[in-house]
Structures are given as C-alpha cells and as structure tokens.
C-alpha cells in the first residue's frame, strides 16, 4: 500500500474528526477509533467519498486495558502500519476529587494517560525503522497553567502529555519521526456536552476564548509537520500560557483559588 495511514483516537466528533479530515485531505488513509460505531461509519463514508482514501473503523473503549493492542492488531490483520498517530481521545470528570469513585478516576487515567502512552510505545519502533512518523498528543491549555479546584486529574494528565511529547520530540530528533503536543483552550465540540458542563461553560467563558475544532486540528497538523514540540493555538491561549510563566507560582495558585467557584469542574478543550 503506497499511501500512509493515520490512526486517530476519539475520532467520532470534534477535534478527532477534524484531524481525520485533515490527514485524509493530505492523502493519508485513515483509521478511526472511538466507542460510537455509527458515528465512525458515517465519518468514514464521508472521508472516502470526499478524498478517495481507504478508511478503517475500529470500535474500542480505551478505558479497557486491552484496547490499544487490539486496535493495532486489527490494523496489522489488514496489512497496515501506523505512520501518523493522533492521541485525541479524552473527556473530563467534573467536580472535586472525592466526588467520584476511584473506579471512575482509574478509567479516566487509563484513557487519558496509559492508552496514549502505550499506543505511542507500540508504533514508534516501526516509525523509526521506516524513518517517518508523526505523533500528535492532544493535551490542553489546562496542562500549562496551575491546577484548579475541580476536574482534579484533567490538568495533571494534560501536563503529563505535554512533558511526554517534549521528551519524545527530543528522543526522536533526526529520525524522521515528529512528535508534538497540541494544547488548545476552549474548543467548540461535544466535549462539554459529554461531561454535562455545557451550560456552566457557556455562561462563564467569553466567546473570544473559543476556537473551532477545525482550526485547532489544523494548527496541530502544521505543528507536527514542522516538528514543533508544542502548539498552543489562538492568540488568547498563547497569551495565557506566556503570562503563567512570568508570574510567581503562589500568585497563580491564588488566582486559581479565587476563581474556584467560577471555574470548578471546568476544563479547557
């Protein structure tokens, strides 16, 4: 097969679907994985008709530890290897740390931290051997700012994704493998509908803070092609990320604490 293959997790909507369309527009075949089979099939048909590329759909729940291996085994059975990986699957758990059972947090960590790390670990050897690869880890502006009350593990996992991507970027310099972390702020998608925070977010986040999923994914694609280790799309988000580096940690934490009632349970993406 001459065309390269891009694997996109959380591909059924939002940033993931936008990434799938962008990679298809650049001639990649597309492997789509998410939990919602009907959404995947609809997107796969759209991409096939519009771009004339091959699409594969794999219904999988990354909260199940065996899913990363099963996804890649499915592709191997179809004679395909992963040339571009977009670790996009994600969600938020609103509320304070003790407001959810540990099983909820454990599933969250599996999806947000373990699964993307395992997928990268499994596909990197082949990318290095072929001297070509692209890995985009979708992080968040929340991973670049101090922790806030509520959604306790979200910022922590996104901070991990930023540092993880930076390290992989350095480890793979000169190999033809590019690794980038994409750190968007508030993005128009179904993200906040899934965790039932849409009404709260709409009231408290001004319109100028929001970007479209297509705009965010395009920035991530360009960053990976340019081999930039981190991409923060949107001028307001860039300003926030820069400002946090300039003020003392205790000031930043005090600001997050003062905004607790307003920001509780909110996550950027």
User: How far apart are the C-alpha atoms of 269 and 264, rounded to whole Å?
Assistant: 15
Of the listed 91, 154, 160, 221, which one is catalytic?
Answer: 154
Residue 182: strand, helix, or coil: strand
Query: Token pair for residue 36?
Result: 């919602």
Q: Helical H runs in the chain?
A: 14-25, 37-51, 67-77, 102-109, 115-130, 152-171, 191-194, 198-204, 213-226, 235-246, 249-258, 260-263
Q: In the annotation, is 154 catalytic?
A: yes
Q: Helical H runs in 52-98?
A: 67-77
User: How far apart are the C-alpha atoms of 231 and 216, rounded to whole Å?
Assistant: 10
| Active-site residue set | 154
């Amino acid at each position: 097969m001459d065309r390269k293959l891009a694997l996109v997790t959380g591909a059924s909507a939002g940033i993931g679907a936008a990434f799938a369309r962008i990679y298809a527009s650049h001639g990649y075949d597309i492997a789509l994985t998410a939990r919602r089979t009907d959404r995947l099939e609809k997107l796969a048909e759209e991409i096939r008709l519009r771009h004339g590329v091959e699409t594969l759909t794999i219904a999988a729940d990354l909260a199940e530890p065996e899913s990363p291996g099963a996804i890649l085994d499915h592709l191997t059975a179809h004679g395909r290897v992963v040339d571009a990986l977009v670790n996009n699957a994600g969600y938020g758990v609103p509320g304070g740390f003790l407001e959810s059972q540990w099983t909820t947090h454990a599933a969250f960590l599996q999806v947000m931290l373990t699964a993307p790390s395992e997928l990268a670990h499994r596909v990197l050897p082949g990318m290095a051997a072929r001297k070509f690869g692209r890995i985009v880890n979708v992080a968040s502006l929340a991973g670049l700012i101090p922790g806030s009350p509520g959604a306790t593990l979200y910022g922590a996992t996104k901070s991990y994704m930023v540092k993880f991507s930076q390290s992989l970027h350095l480890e793979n310099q000169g190999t033809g493998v590019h690794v980038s972390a994409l750190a968007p702020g508030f993005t128009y998608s179904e993200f906040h509908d899934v965790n039932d925070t849409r009404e709260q977010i709409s009231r408290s986040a001004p319109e100028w803070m929001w970007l479209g999923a297509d705009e965010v994914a395009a920035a991530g694609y360009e960053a990976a092609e340019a081999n930039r280790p981190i991409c923060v799309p949107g001028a307001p988000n860039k300003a926030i990320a820069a400002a946090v580096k300039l003020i003392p940690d205790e000031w930043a934490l005090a600001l997050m604490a003062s905004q607790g009632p307003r920001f509780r349970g909110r996550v950027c993406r």
